[in-house]
Chain A
Amino acid sequence: MRILRLITFLAALTAYCLAAAAQSQLRGTGDLGIVIERANGSVCVVDTSARAILSCVEGFGDLSHASAVFSRDQRYAYVFGRDGGLTKVDLLEQRIVKRVLQAGNSIGGAISDDGKLIAVSNYKPGGIKVFDAETLNQVADIPASYGADGERSKTVGLVDAPGRRFIFTLYDAGEIWMVDFAEPGEPQITKIGRAGKLPYDALITADGRHYIAGLFGEDGLAHVDLWRSPARIERVLDGYGKGEAKMPVYKMPHLEGWALAGGQFILPAVGHSELLALDAETFKEAGRVKVHGQPVFAIARPDGRQVWVNFAHPLNDTIQVVDVPTLKVVHEFKPGPAILHMEFTPRGHEVWVSVRDANKVEIYDARTFEKRGELEMRKPSGVFFAARANRIGL
């Protein structure tokens, strides 16, 4: 009996020591990230150095479309789900800290430059809402009302801009707005102007100067130079598809990954199997690259020398790599069915590729294109690394 008691005591002691040791094991989060598991409403916290899954966390709702931003200390990710859910997840403890259902249907979000505000871009009800990053309490509600009867527009392309500002685009109204939280009190809303027909997404350059919205309803883009005062919209690459038949677009391109590479922006054309190169100085066309299909993401390797491209259904099993100085496809491979997203490690030595219908994420050497690893996940889509915390517009 006494021996049994001793064993129980020793077991308890060991468990206690192990738990204490686990708690005191310090680590940073700079090489961590998350992968969205689209079908399960779950998010896997990953370690990009170990190329491993730390833990997958459930309870994020409908993640059929999802994106994420990171807190300044890179400990927390804020996940924006399709169902209007805004969920704050702790990368260290791999658990949900807080979740609010802030709208019926949303598309993405942004974090302010001071890390204090989280803005969410909503389809239903159309507009943006802004939350305290700490508590997720609502700070502001900005309906994107337009027209005579004040209809609410879906909003897209929401990004942070320097000076505690957010910029976003009204899909239905075709306008670009800016909201400024620099002063205490009511935020200042500026309607910058008309972008064009059906703007579907937008980006801001890494220096926070240029905001560019892509249009679905017209061949062209809307550009805002934020260094100019007052800010106004200039159309660029107007009529880029002139004389060419537009092909059906089975998945909307995304603009978040547009590269400023070698003095030019490389971005997907809409309805054409092409990438467009836009001169970053003059904002005139600098060239084109024929690619495999309708590009979805054109993401620059962080050094800007190469751009990796994936494609819309049904050609979504392929990745092409474009050399920026020559605007030529230098590599093509087929990781598997339904490649949804690519994310580079911060300095671009490796790239993670989500292969939705193969239920895995593959990891490649971004220079030799050799496969370095693969991780099983359920219908993985977006891959987001914590280093985004330090980037304007991501």
Chain B
Amino acid sequence: MRRRMTLLPRLLLEVAMLLALTSAMASAEELSPQRKGELRNLIMQDCGSCHGMTLKGGLGSALRPVDLDGVEEETIARIVLDGVPDKPMPPWRGLLSDSEALWIAHALKAGVVK
């Protein structure tokens, strides 16, 4: 049986979660709708060269939400920015900002790019 939280702690928890979420998204929110569109195209077309346009994988690994289950957005963003040593995954730092990489990580995990 699930224990019902009393109202106050539950409210606090929700506020905390909301704050955490907004701070994580804050940097991503700076991106213009146009830039997000460009990034969506980049994911499908350019990441898609190796990971498949539907992100089911190719030379690179599959990147659907189910494949990224349990992987932190920050970890994904770091791989995007720094690449994988000795593997074809290149570092995108210089072409993508930190917040853009984080937005891509978020978009991949949320499955908003199909």
Asked if B90 and A357 make an inter-chain contact with CB atoms under 8 angstroms apart, the answer reads no
For the complex, is A237 an interface residue (Cβ under 8 Å from B)?
A: no
User: Which chain B residues border A104 with CB–CB below 8 Å?
Assistant: 56
Q: Do A64 and B46 contact each other (CB < 8 Å), given the known contacts A248-B83, A314-B95?
A: no
User: Which chain A residues border B95 with CB–CB below 8 Å?
Assistant: 250, 313-314
Asked if A248 and B59 make an inter-chain contact with CB atoms under 8 angstroms apart, the answer reads no
Asked if B52 and A154 make an inter-chain contact with CB atoms under 8 angstroms apart, the answer reads no
**Chain A interfacial residues counted at CB < 8 A:** 30
Minimum CB–CB distance for A290 against chain B, Å: 21
- A154 and B58 CA atoms in complex are apart in Å by 9
- A250 and B96 CA atoms in complex are apart in Å by 13
Asked if B88 and A38 make an inter-chain contact with CB atoms under 8 angstroms apart, the answer reads no
Q: Do A105 and B52 contact each other (CB < 8 Å), given the known contacts A124-B57, A250-B46, A313-B46?
A: yes
Q: Is the interface of A mostly helix, strand, loop or mixed?
A: loop
Q: Do A65 and B86 contact each other (CB < 8 Å), given the known contacts A248-B91, A357-B41, A379-B45?
A: no
User: Which chain B residues border A252 with CB–CB below 8 Å?
Assistant: 49-50, 59, 88
Categorize the interface residue count of chain B: 20 to 34
**CB within 8 Å of B: which A266-297 residues:** none
Asked if B53 and A38 make an inter-chain contact with CB atoms under 8 angstroms apart, the answer reads yes
Name which residue of chain B comes closest to A197, CB basis. Answer: B86
**CB within 8 Å of A: which B20-77 residues:** 41, 44-46, 48-50, 52-54, 56-59
- A104 and B95 CA atoms in complex are apart in Å by 32
Residue from the list B41, B59, B87 in contact with A123, Cβ < 8 A:
B59
Residue from the list B41, B45, B57, B90 in contact with A249, Cβ < 8 A:
B90
Asked if B56 and A83 make an inter-chain contact with CB atoms under 8 angstroms apart, the answer reads yes
Residue from the list A64, A123, A198, A357 in contact with B48, Cβ < 8 A:
A64
Asked if B57 and A216 make an inter-chain contact with CB atoms under 8 angstroms apart, the answer reads no
Minimum CB–CB distance for A172 against chain B, Å: 10
Residue from the list B41, B44, B58, B87 in contact with A65, Cβ < 8 A:
B58
- A39 and B53 CA atoms in complex are apart in Å by 8
Name which residue of chain A comes closest to B95, CB basis. Answer: A314
- A64 and B50 CA atoms in complex are apart in Å by 9
User: Which chain B residues border A171 with CB–CB below 8 Å?
Assistant: 59
Name which residue of chain A comes closest to B94, CB basis. Answer: A248
Instruction: Beyond the given A64-B49, A251-B49, please list 6 additional residue pairs across the A-B interface where CB-CB is below 8 A.
Output: A83-B56, A105-B58, A198-B88, A216-B88, A250-B95, A356-B45
**Can you offer 17 A-B residue contacts whose CB atoms are under 8 A?**
A39-B44, A62-B54, A64-B53, A65-B52, A65-B58, A82-B58, A104-B56, A105-B57, A107-B59, A200-B88, A249-B88, A250-B90, A251-B49, A252-B49, A252-B59, A357-B41, A357-B45
